[in-house]
Chain A
Amino acid sequence: MARKLLLEKAHVENIRYYDVYRREGGYRSVEKALKSMNPDEVTEEVKKSGLRGRGGAGFPTGMKWSFLAKPEGVPRYLVVNADESEPGTFKDRYLMEFIPHLLIEGMIVSSFALGANRSYIYIRGEYWWIVDILEQAIQEARNNGWLGKNIQGSGFDCDIFVQRGAGAYICGEETALIESLEGKRGNPRIKPPFPAVKGLWDSPTVVNNVETIAAVVPIINEGGEEYAKIGVGKSTGTKLISACGNLKKPGVYEIDMTISVEEFIFSDEYCGGIANGKRLKACIPGGSSVPILPANLLLKTAKGETRMMNYESLSDGGFATGSMMGSGGFIVLDEDQCVVKHTYTLARFYRHESCGQCSPCREGTGWMEKLLLRLENGQGKSSDIDLLWDIQRKIEGNTICPLGDAAAWPVAAAIRHFRDEFEWHVTNAAEAQTRNFGLAHYAEPLVVQS
């Protein structure tokens, strides 16, 4: 049984409310940090823990915090990125909905470490009911002296504000989020300057994912070195995975990054296998923007090693034969799913969510969508596949923010691994409308576990 840190108490009844949360040992980390540590020691613990950002890029959090510029007389801000809009990712929602106080607690400790007196939660507009949950948790924390002036007599002031987004995916990108928080249109900024130097209202700002901030709580409670013992290599601690798609038991799971992908999909403790007795065809292991992997490459790396659920192993083989941990949105496709249609759906999403600032992303995402729609509808030409490849290559790396890359990677990976399926859509256009290609072609090397 894997160790749980974040979701350990998630199923205690009424854990959403302060009294129960406190009785279960909540806010211990704030007490510990404010009474016996100084801000640099907190940052040091987070560094020791090896915690990596859970928002997608996997950048070490301790290092990110130590990059924060600390000029005299300028306020600093902590912004929690709760704009979870990536298709397939819903772990932050779970965390905020069931144990909102964990996030608040983590924010107080993190704000203390960063010296931020005002912190923000930028939450996705569609999560309207969670706003109320968070507001209530903040009010309870304030009433009990965990927020406001002079917290627990330590002399540290901190307040937390919740800001709702308006439903744009791009506002999850940290500089677009900051723009949106300032009340402007959510256009990503050109970096440098990085937010750590010039972020919210031109002040140094740290933007972290909800899960990253929540993970600070067990790190302070147990110590960074203890935390680093969980997991393997540079993938320390636990990670929330939101599994969805054709699975028997989709949902949010906390894993300790030492299990294999096969165990995660097929064991009863986790997803319980593919629904309806079908076979596994492909999987996107980290949210819609990371490359898709066919079943044989998903379970084994190109070198023949078992693929594990951690940052290094999932990205083993680069983009040619690997993928990425991303934000932990685990999307599983069974043998009946059409990769062309799937890729089209994603391309449509990125076309819609592109902010339109830079030419490659604005024009390229729309072009890819058109071509994929044509292929999906059976009017494609075989040259369209090469054209798609060419377009994605010209978008990737040439844009202001990583959304351009995120739009290009799924298309690239789909063509790389499932080219015969695209070709089948061109050559058997009529049949492609009624039946899906593949029929477990990609699932061949696998045994279905009962």
Chain B
Amino acid sequence: MSDQLFKVTIDNITVEVPAGTTILMAARQIGGDVTPPAMCFYSKLQGSGGKCRTCLVEVSKGSEKDPRPMPKLVASCRTTVMDGMEVKNITSERVLDARAGVTEFLLLNHPSIARFVTRLVSVICRTSAMNMAKKVPAMNFPAALSRKKILDHIYSYI
């Protein structure tokens, strides 16, 4: 079973991974922009992930056998790949929108929002390997941020 290889297509890039791999780990194999950001998932910690919802992706085709798309966005860190699965990450408007929402929710009640934005965005950028990390230190937030500014900021990075 475990030496079986499944074909999975993420953002139009196809890889072959062993059965039982999660979408997130498959995306990390591809690397680059394709990798969803992940905040509560640590590959070495069993049972981690699934909570923060930053890694949501859209499954536009369930598998070769059952091609129906999944109705909801799924947490890529906890969803295992199926043979022939097609996943949309940054090519899906829905995913980007939901991710911006989740990021905003995460920032919402943080006491030192400015510092946290920098850190959060850097974490997201690092894990999503969006090649944005270089830009991060340049960010400097004024003490009082309007929601619009934060949102614009988040959108500009996702």
Contact = CB atoms under 8 A, between A and B. Distances in A.
Given A190-B75, A190-B78, A363-B109, A394 B101 contact: yes
Contact of B52 (A359, A366, A395): A359
A394 B99 CA distance: 9
B53 A359 contact: yes
A357 interface: yes
Nearest to A400: B50
B150 to A, nearest CB: 13
A190 B52 CA distance: 12
Contact of A398 (B50, B53, B106): B53
B53 A360 contact: yes
A360 B54 CA distance: 10
B1 interface: no
A358 interface: yes
A397 interface: yes
A400 B56 contact: no
A364 interface: yes
B51 A359 contact: yes
A399 B53 contact: yes
Interface string A380-408: 00000001000001110111100000000
In the complex, which of the residues B73, B102, B109, B147 has the most CB atoms of chain A within 10 Å of its own CB atom?
B102
B51 A358 contact: yes
Contact of B102 (A359, A393, A400): A359
B108 interface: yes
A398 B50 CA distance: 11
A180 to B, nearest CB: 18
B113 interface: no
Contacts of A358: 50-53
B108 A397 contact: no
Contacts of A367: 105, 108
Nearest to A405: B72
Contacts of A360: 53, 101-102, 105
B101 A366 contact: no
A360 to B, nearest CB: 5
A192 B155 CA distance: 31
A388 B86 CA distance: 33
Interface in A329-384: 357-360, 362-364, 366-367
A400 B73 CA distance: 10
Contacts of A395: 101
Interface in B106-158: 106, 108-109, 147
Contact of A359 (B78, B97, B105, B147): B105
A311 to B, nearest CB: 19
A364 B105 contact: yes
B109 A359 contact: no
A218 to B, nearest CB: 34
In the complex, which of the residues A357, A359, A397, A400 has the most CB atoms of chain B within 10 Å of its own CB atom?
A359
A397 to B, nearest CB: 5
Interface string B28-53: 00000000000000000000001111
B153 to A, nearest CB: 16
B19 interface: no
A400 B101 CA distance: 15
Nearest to A397: B72
Given A398-B73, A398-B98, A363 B106 contact: yes
15 contacts: A190-B75, A357-B51, A358-B50, A358-B53, A360-B53, A360-B101, A360-B102, A360-B105, A363-B106, A363-B109, A387-B147, A393-B101, A394-B100, A394-B101, A395-B101
